[in-house]
Structure 1
Amino acid sequence: MSDNLLGNFTDQAKNVYEPLVKANQLLFKKLEKVAEFQMEAFKSYADMTGSQFKEILEVRDLESLKNYTTHQTEMASNLAKKVVEDMKTLSEMGMEFKGEMEQVLDEAKSAAQNSKSES
């Protein structure tokens, strides 16, 4: 009898903690992925800014100023596109996380229901 009780307790503990472990692993995996993405995005934005500083230092006359302002328009357009792409990527990461977390929760719910029906 005590073996059965201990076995039931172990199974119930497993059913409770296994989904929590999966959820935590998923959370940390996604946080790591988002952090890596943000670091790459930051590097990209820093590179753009650095190149702008270098270009402004090259302005020496009206012609180079004209070239600089023309390039600024292109750069602003590229920056806007990059920001939109980055936001889209982050949104997709969020949706992917949501779907995977829902799957973990559904599995936990099924396990809990199976555990109840076996009792």
Structure 2
Amino acid sequence: MQDKMMDAFNAQTRQMFEPMRKMNSLMLNNMEKMTQYQLEAMKRYSQMGTERIRSATEINDAESLRDFGTKQAEMMNELSQQMQEDARVMSEMSLQFKSEMEKLFSEAGQKMSEQVSATAKGEQPAKASSQSSRKS
């Protein structure tokens, strides 16, 4: 009998912690994806900056200065487009995470509802008793 009670307790505990485990896993996966993307973006921006510094060190006359200025304007346009793309991707990742969290909470709420209704059907209302109705 004790084994059945322990098994039931373990099963209930697993059911109780399952939604939290799923949520933690989802949050961790999202954090990993976002961090990885941000690191890649930082690497791209660093490389762009390093390339511009290298180009600046190669300026030795007016013509190379003019070329540098032209390429600087092109690079700023490219940087602007890259930042917009990065913002779009991060926004999509956030929306996907939000959607997955909503789905998780919906599933958890539905399971809880089912458990409550199953428990309510299986239990009888408690009978009221008072000390005055007891026989001495």
TM-score normalised by structure 2 residue count: 0.81
Name the count of aligned residue pairs: 119
- TM-superposed CA distance for 1:13, in Å, is 2.4
Gaps of 5+ in 1: none
- 2:15 equivalent to 1:15: yes
Equivalence for 2:38: 38
Amino acid in the other structure paired with 1:98: K
Between structure 1 and structure 2, the one with the greater Rg is: 2
- Is the 1:34–1:90 Cα contact (8 Å) retained in structure 2? yes
- TM-superposed CA distance for 1:49, in Å, is 0.5
Percent sequence identity is: 34
- TM-superposed CA distance for 1:10, in Å, is 3.8
- Is the 1:15–1:112 Cα contact (8 Å) retained in structure 2? no
Gaps of 5+ in 2: 120-136
Equivalent position SS for 1:59: coil
Equivalence for 1:66: 66
Deviations 1:70-93 (A, max 9, x none): 000000000000011001110000
When the two chains are superposed, the root-mean-square deviation of aligned CA atoms in Å is: 1.6
Equivalent position SS for 1:60: coil
Greater relative CO (CA pairs within 8 A, separation 6+)? 1
